[in-house]
Amino acid sequence: MTDSLTILSETRVFGGWLKQVRHQSAAVDCAMTFAIFLPPQVEAGASVPVLYWLSGLTCTDENFTQKAGAFRVTAELGLAIVAPDTSPRGDGVPGDPDGAWDFGQGAGFYVDATEEPWARNYRMHDYVTRELPALIEANFPVTGNRSIAGHSMGGHGALVCALKHPGFYKAVSAFSPIVNPTAVPWGEKAFERYLGLDRDRWLEWDACALIAEAAERLPILIDQGDRDGFLETQLKPQALVAAAEAAGHPLTLRMQPGYDHSYFFISTFIEDHLRHHAAALLA
């Protein structure tokens, strides 16, 4: 491990280790924190594949690690999990001028901002798809087999990462993703500030637009609760279903009756997603 990584904590869990790590990021020009779970197979000398998890608005790495209940199955399967923060943070990083929770720090939307004052720090797509995997693969006992998943804003991020980088990931899935950010209030607010007023440029970060010309038909698994308070206004999964059908892209949308947007929902179905990823990563 390089001296540039600082271990903030180490916790034993299901025979493996959960580590919280801080490093200075060149991509987003600030200190970043991520969590990594290394399964027990690592102690026996194995290198393991990695599932990257992208969290949603207001979250950090700790939401997934403390609430998803993923580590028992991950330890059994022999997968590492990496959970980065959702945005750049710190005194020098601009946030929402009105202190809103759905923009700025905690709401990076996994895009590479082009507009000031956001362009210097808000390059989360570059961080997640380039800098972080290189860092993980250089410093931990992992293979080059990667997959990606996420929740809400992070579900949007996972879909976009997979669609924009054919061959880089072996599998993709999402819980309650923002599938069509160019057409919902959360996405419109973020994209106008991060990317400018040209809505055509926004389509580069919209899964519904990207799926039409995707160079790889990686099967997509989505779980969505039908009592999610954001379902009709912000998420609209049927838009992605329609785009996938038009493009001939394999997609499974599972509407889960009675479930909401919370980690109670995620923890209920996380095992299905972990096994979906393991089937591709360990093939």
The pLDDT, as a whole number, for residue 214 is 96
The rounded Cα 235 to chain-centroid distance in angstroms is 16
Q: Identify the segments of the chain with pLDDT beneath 70.
A: 1-3
- Residue pLDDT, tens place only, 144-201: 999 999 999 999 999 999 999 999 999 999 999 999 999 999 999 999 999 999 999 9
The pLDDT, as a whole number, for residue 98 is 86
- 15: exposed, middle or buried (Cβ count in 10 Å: 0-12, 13-18, 19+): middle
Contact 259, 57 (CB under 8 A): no
The pLDDT, as a whole number, for residue 3 is 56
Of residues 61, 228, 249, 276, which has the active-site annotation? 228
The pLDDT, as a whole number, for residue 134 is 98
- Catalytic residue list contains 98: no
What is the rounded CA–CA span in Å between residue 101 and residue 107?
A: 8
Of residues 125, 249, 261, 276, which has the active-site annotation? 261
- Catalytic residue list contains 152: yes
For residues 16-52, b (16+ Cβ closer than 10 Å) or e, as one string?
bbbbbbebebebbbbebbbbbbbbbbbeeeebbbbbb
The set of residues, in sequence order, having a beta carbon less than 8 Å from that of 100 and lying 6+ positions away, is none
CA dihedral 236, 240, 245, 248 (to 10 degrees): -170
CA dihedral 243, 245, 246, 250 (to 10 degrees): 90
What is the token pair recorded at 43? 């102690």
Contact 30, 108 (CB under 8 A): no
Of residues 87, 147, 152, 173, which has the active-site annotation? 152
Give the predicted TM-score (pTM) of the model.
Answer: 0.97
- Catalytic residue list contains 261: yes
